[in-house]
Amino acid sequence: MDIAVLVKASLDVNMIKADSEGRILFDSIPLAISEYDRNAVAEAVRIKGELGGKVVAFSVLTWGPVDKRAREIENVMREALALGADEAHVVVDDTILPGDVSVTAEVLSNLIKKTGDFGLILAGEGSMDMMSAQLPVRIAYKLGYPVATFARKIEVINGAVKVTRDLEDVLQVVELPLPAVVSVTGEINQPRLPTLLQIRKSFAKPYKAYTISEIGMDAPEKLFPFDDIKLVTVSRKNMIIEGENLEEIAEKLIDKLIEEGVVRV
């Protein structure tokens, strides 16, 4: 059974840059593999180990500028390949930037359909940058497949998939017929960092980038583009307590906390 895995080249939220007026400098924030998509790749590779088949990673670029980002999305997909995916297909197209979740779902579902028949489509529970957690469901409806979200355990048995959903109060176990879409939590497995050898090998694996017209589409209309994105300002004292030894540092810290009125002795 072949498995598709959705991987986002997400803005790296640990590297947010803004100008002195607090305007976010989107083009200077690097793209990185969305944290929980690594879990999705690792899970796809695990299932492939049991059932055979291949793992194909898919992505759609959602942040411009294209000339700079084309290389970055390739690097992200090389990471997915190093983690064990067998090939990667992406759409890089100016006309759909910045991304809109319904457009991304439309483009990805077309790209998946065009590439092959997949028994299972895995994705991370939500992306690191936009965090809307809607994409797996939207894709499933576009493909006409059943879907389950927030999986912390997946078992494929006889043409069906049993998914343990990690909800706030309970674990809900659901069963869906294949083909199906499943989103996974960050806790489903612990992806290892790829080895140097795996990284080197990833460059020999197939990587294809398409425009939307190359996959037979016109730019779909955006359902709900954002109008603005504002930085949340953080202002803290950022004082590193220094001293001759840990005793002195501890004492200075306690004094500061007393001075702030947050600790009483």
Partner 1 sequence: MKALVIGNKTSHLIDGLGFIQVLASELGESIEAYGLLYGNQVEEVKGFTKIFSMPDASPEAVANTVSKVIEKVTLEIVVGPAEKNGTEILSRVASVNNMPMITEVSGISKAGDTTYLERAIMGGRATALYGFKTPIAVTVPAKKFKVSDAEATPEFEELQVIDGVTKVVEVLPKEKGAVDLEAAEIIVGVGRGFKAKDDLAMAFELAELLSGEVGCSRPVAADFKWLGEDRWIGISGKKIRGKLYIAVGISGAPQHIMAASDTKVIVAVNKDKNAPIFTFSDYGVVADLYQFLPVFIKKLKEKKGL
Span 142-161, contacts to partner 1 by CB under 8 A: 142, 146-150
Residue least distant from ligand FAD (Cβ): 35
178 sits near partner 1 (criterion: CB under 8 A): no
Stretch that binds partner 1, among 58-66, 70-78, 83-91, 227-235 (CB under 8 A): 227-235
- Please compute, for residue 160, the number of CA atoms within 13 A of its CA located in the half-sphere on the CB side: 7
Name which of 81 and 184 has its Cβ closer to partner 1: 184
Residue 36's binding partner among partner 1, ligand FAD, none (Cβ under 5 to 8 angstroms by kind) is ligand FAD
Give CA–CA dist 265/258, Å, rounded.
Answer: 8
Would you give the DSSP letter of residue 191? P
Element (H, E) at 184: strand 180-184
Give CA–CA dist 49/241, Å, rounded.
Answer: 50
**x/- binding map, residues 75-104, to partner 1, per CB under 8 A?**
--------------------------xx--
Element (H, E) at 87: strand 87-91
Name which of 229 and 258 has its Cβ closer to ligand FAD: 229
Q: How many residues form the binding site for partner 1 (CB under 8 A)?
A: 74
Give CA–CA dist 10/62, Å, rounded.
Answer: 8
Give CA–CA dist 234/10, Å, rounded.
Answer: 22
**CB-CB contact of 184 with 36 (8 Å):** yes
191 sits near ligand FAD (criterion: CB under 6 A): no
Neighbours of 245 (CB within 10 A): 7
**CB-CB contact of 63 with 93 (8 Å):** no
179 sits near ligand FAD (criterion: CB under 6 A): no
Q: What distances in angstroms separate CA 254 from CA 123, 236, 260, one per listed residue?
A: 46, 18, 10
Phi, psi of 145 (to 5 degrees): -105, 155
Phi, psi of 151 (to 5 degrees): -80, 130
Name which of 55 and 128 has its Cβ closer to ligand FAD: 128
187 sits near ligand FAD (criterion: CB under 6 A): no
Name which of 197 and 234 has its Cβ closer to partner 1: 234
**Shortest approach of partner 1 to residue 257 CB, angstroms?**
7
Name which of 199 and 249 has its Cβ closer to partner 1: 249
Name which of 203 and 226 has its Cβ closer to partner 1: 226
Please, which of residues 112-151 interact with ligand FAD by CB under 6 A?
Answer: 126, 128, 131
**x/- binding map, residues 9-48, to ligand FAD, per CB under 6 A?**
--------------------------xx------------
In angstroms, how far apart are the furthest CA atoms of the chain?
A: 71
Q: How many residues form the binding site for ligand FAD (CB under 6 A)?
A: 5
140 sits near partner 1 (criterion: CB under 8 A): yes
Interface residue list for ligand FAD (CB under 6 A): 35-36, 126, 128, 131
